[in-house]
Structure 1
Amino acid sequence: MFRIFSGKSREDEQSQNDRYSRSTTQGAKPGRTINYDPALINALKKDHHELVDVFQRIWSEGYEKRDFRQLAQLLTVFKSNFQAHLIKENVRFYVYLEQALAEDVHTLQIVKDFRTDMNDIANAVVQFCKRYTHEAFSQEMIRDFKRDYEKIGEALVRRVTLEEKELYTLYQPS
């Protein structure tokens, strides 16, 4: 596209694209786009620990102290970390499992159901973060925050436990 500026010919671009394609798929099984990463599960569990820590701080440093500026800042951090975790999980974990379990229709369906469920939880978490990222709360928001925080917390604890005890055990080299 920018050959005019680079001085490269179309053939040079094609050979560079071929080299890139070969280098990114070396070591992958045919039909695979994501390789097994032995450090991934520990990284995902570390994310969980950090997310739980920030989530608890939202309560203790923000809500309990009625410091809504701090609460808003922590919600922003939580949302950002949560979304980064989801991207890592969706791109590296779920894609690998779907490739590795392609022949096991039953288990593959369970994994897809987990993924769908996580997307529903993710939407609720993002909406929660957006709703309460304000530096001033009305009395109604203060009351609703407690209820919503507890619901989100329960869903996250249930999900993290399920992922770490059940789902992550499926992630094996193939």
Structure 2
Amino acid sequence: MLFDFLFGKKHPPAAESGRVSQQPMPAAGGQAPGTHIAYHPNLIDQLKTDHQKLLATFGHVLTTFKAGDLAGTAKLLEEFRGDIQGHLLTENVKLYIYLEHALRQDEESHRLVHGFRHEMDGIGKVVLAFLGKYRNIASQPDLVVSFGPELEQIGEALVARIKREEDTLYPLYLPAY
């Protein structure tokens, strides 16, 4: 199988059967081909730590809101905004661009990464719009009625997305050797 991959077949057997390949990525010198973006051995651990912090902050937003502390809710929303923007930037540059370039010869894996990236762009826009809408919740009590249900929807989407990233996408981030 490895010889077929090295000497003629374009895709590893796992990709041909519709599964995503978890073969080492072909990156010269630890960089994704055609970029200066290097493989970072601690990136996945960093992103998973970000996820835990995002979920913890999100949980604090929910409990603070349920306690009726709108000023505290607004403050936590700003903290969440900063954390998620930093996470999205890191993920976009260090993970998605690297993977898209490193996996360009593996059509199935490349398509998966590309889909994840564009889906995350959409989710990011929705989350940032939500955060912008409720930025002034402490001084605009009329927003309280819609905040709770929208917060729950955002939470459900984030939990599902984080699980999919950690289970499906992150295992593709492998060093070249």
With the shorter chain as reference, the TM-score category is: 0.7 to 0.9
Cα distance in 2 for residues equivalent to 1:159 and 1:29: 25
Partner in structure 2 of residue 39 of structure 1:
42
Partner in structure 2 of residue 49 of structure 1:
52
SS of aligned partner of 2:67: coil
Cα distance in 2 for residues equivalent to 1:86 and 1:28: 20
Partner in structure 1 of residue 87 of structure 2:
85
Partner in structure 2 of residue 159 of structure 1:
161
Structure number with higher relative contact order (C-alpha < 8 Å, ≥ 6 residues apart): 2
Identity of aligned residues (%): 38
Using the TM superposition, give the Cα deviation of residue 26 of structure 1 relative to its aligned residue in structure 2, in angstroms. Answer: 6.8
Residues 40-89 of structure 1: CA distance to partner in whole angstroms, max 9, x if unpaired? 0000000000000110101112x112111111110001011100000000
Read off the aligned partner of 2:87 and give its amino acid letter.
Answer: H
Partner in structure 1 of residue 144 of structure 2:
142
Cα distance, 1:29–1:48 mapped onto 2, change above 3 Å:
closer
* Residues 72 and 132 in structure 1, CA contact (< 8 A), matched pair in contact too: yes
Q: TM-score, normalised by structure 1?
A: 0.80
Cα distance in 2 for residues equivalent to 1:155 and 1:30: 33
Residues 129-168 of structure 1: CA distance to partner in whole angstroms, max 9, x if unpaired? 11111123434x2221111001100100000000011110
* Residues 79 and 126 in structure 1, CA contact (< 8 A), matched pair in contact too: yes
Cα distance in 1 for residues equivalent to 2:163 and 2:51: 10
Read off the aligned partner of 1:31 and give its amino acid letter.
Answer: G
Using the TM superposition, give the Cα deviation of residue 28 of structure 1 relative to its aligned residue in structure 2, in angstroms. Answer: 3.9
Using the TM superposition, give the Cα deviation of residue 105 of structure 1 relative to its aligned residue in structure 2, in angstroms. Answer: 1.5
Read off the aligned partner of 1:143 and give its amino acid letter.
Answer: V
Segments of 5+ residues of structure 1 without an aligned counterpart are: 1-24
Cα distance in 2 for residues equivalent to 1:113 and 1:55: 25
- Is residue 2:86 matched to residue 1:115? no
> What RMSD, in angstroms, separates the aligned Cα atoms of the two structures?
1.7
What is the total number of aligned residue pairs between the two structures?
148
- Is residue 2:70 matched to residue 1:68? yes
Residues 1-26 of structure 1: CA distance to partner in whole angstroms, max 9, x if unpaired? xxxxxxxxxxxxxxxxxxxxxxxx97
Structure number with greater Rg is 1
Segments of 5+ residues of structure 2 without an aligned counterpart are: 1-27
